Amino acid sequence: MHKLAVLTGGGDCPGLNAVIRAVVRSANQYGLEVLGIKDGFHGAVEGEFIPLSLADVSGILPRGGTILGTTNRDNPFEYASDVNGIRQPLDRSEDVLRNFEKAGIDALLAIGGDGSLNISLKFAAKGFPVIGIPKTIDNDLMATDQTFGFQTAVDTAQEALDRLHTTAESHHRVMVLEVMGRYAGWIALYAGVAGGADVILIPEIPYNIGRVAYSVQRRAKQGKKFSIIVVAEGAKPLGGEMVVDRLFPGRSDPVKLGGIGAKLGGDLEQHFGLETRVTVLGHLQRGGSPNSYDRVLASRYGTAAVDAALEGKFGIMVALQGRDIVQVPLQQAVDQLKLVPLTDPLLITARALGIEMGD
């Protein structure tokens, strides 16, 4: 084992640079070289590699984003290519393997969410040594208690809720905050509890609009003339569908969610006469400096991935279980999404706090 490659794939998230730094620092201790792959799997297909030295990763621990760049579009197994002037998806995975061989890469450390880890799994199936590192603000990966980036996103959403509280209170309004999370309600649940929300709506529990309105009206009767509602982008009304903002054909996840906050706010005003304002937090949740929790977790993942490479453990993902970083089969990580179970301890706490979950 002489040379590792590292890439960041999918949506950016706080802590990516902290992982890259940890990989380079740890590899350096063992005399291993590290190549960074630019823009995720795009750079793997195009052979865009840059050597990463200790100097290159100096000072990047607190920086958001990724010094390597990323993309959630380019899948080497269905890579948009020009064939006789016509753009079509081609399997370019053999090009990737050739590029890796030419660059002398012995193993790939892929930092990604389910899209990038699924691609990684396919390379593992082709016999290339791959180690996954679980990233996503959505926290929706199986086999790990937590992905890095999630806690920072929760902090950002909680701060937004604190700020919305003051306007809600002053204007006696309903304030709706739409947060990310794709098909999982983790960000909404954690931020909602931390930010003192009155109503939390998550994809796992289709909501009854009548219940939501009733809980707002009941608060008003009790003298609380404002309410704060956190709605996950994947939430949907009972018998209804998730609200899709746009479709991106060709992406590993072509559906971009968004708009449920506006629907909910509109319904509360039109059908129940409740003055409502809607804020969509959007990509603010992905940006900025990682908090201390995510810096620590990212650093642990990065060093553990290098350890796994030295042990010759491939086709695995490093994962947090309890307080330990363990190795789990990559397959297990991508088999299904980790949604909020109805028995989740924090969901039970939310109900015990009297937070309306919409059901």
Q: Which residues are catalytic?
A: 138
The answer to the question of residue 35 lying near ligand F6P (CB under 6 A) is: no
Question: Which of 201, 257, 320, 325 touches ligand F6P (CB under 6 A)?
Answer: 257
Query: In the complex with ligand F6P, which residue's Cβ is closer, 4 or 111?
Result: 111
Rounded CA separation 234/236 (Å):
6
CB of 168 to ligand F6P, least distance (A): 24
With contacts defined by CB under 6 A, name the span among 96-104, 120-128, 158-166, 179-187 that binds ligand F6P: 179-187
Which of 74, 138, 294, 356 forms a contact with ligand F6P (CB under 6 A)? 138
Measured between alpha carbons, how far apart are the two ends of the chain, in Å?
54
Q: Which residues contact 123 (CB under 8 A, 6 or more apart)?
A: 93, 96, 97, 108, 130
- Residue from 24, 124, 180, 319 binding ligand F6P (CB under 6 A): 180
The least distance separating ligand F6P from the CB of residue 187, rounded to whole angstroms, comes to: 7
Element (H, E) at 247: strand 244-247
Rounded Cα distance, 274 and 166, in Å: 18
Return the residue of 11, 185, 315, 358 that touches ligand F6P, per CB under 6 A.
11
- Restricting to residues 263-302, name those near ligand F6P by CB under 6 A: 286
Helix (H) or strand (E) holding 155: helix 150-171
What track of x and - describes contact with ligand F6P for positions 230 through 249 (by CB under 6 A)?
Answer: ---x----------------
Question: How many helices (H) does the chain have, and how many strands (E)?
Answer: 11, 15
| 93 interacts with ligand F6P by CB under 6 A | no
What are the backbone angles phi and psi of residue 253, rounded to the nearest 5°? -125, 95
Amino acid at 189: L
Tokens 């279980």 -> residue: 321
- Told to check if 181 binds ligand F6P by CB under 6 A, we report yes
Q: What is the residue type of 279?
A: T
Lookup: tokens for 105: 């890469």
The distance of closest approach from Cβ of residue 153 to ligand F6P in the complex, given in angstroms and rounded to an integer, is 8
Q: Is the dihedral of CA 99, 102, 107, 108 positive or negative?
A: negative
Give residues in contact with ligand F6P (CB under 6 A). Answer: 11, 72, 113, 136-138, 180-182, 233, 256-257, 286
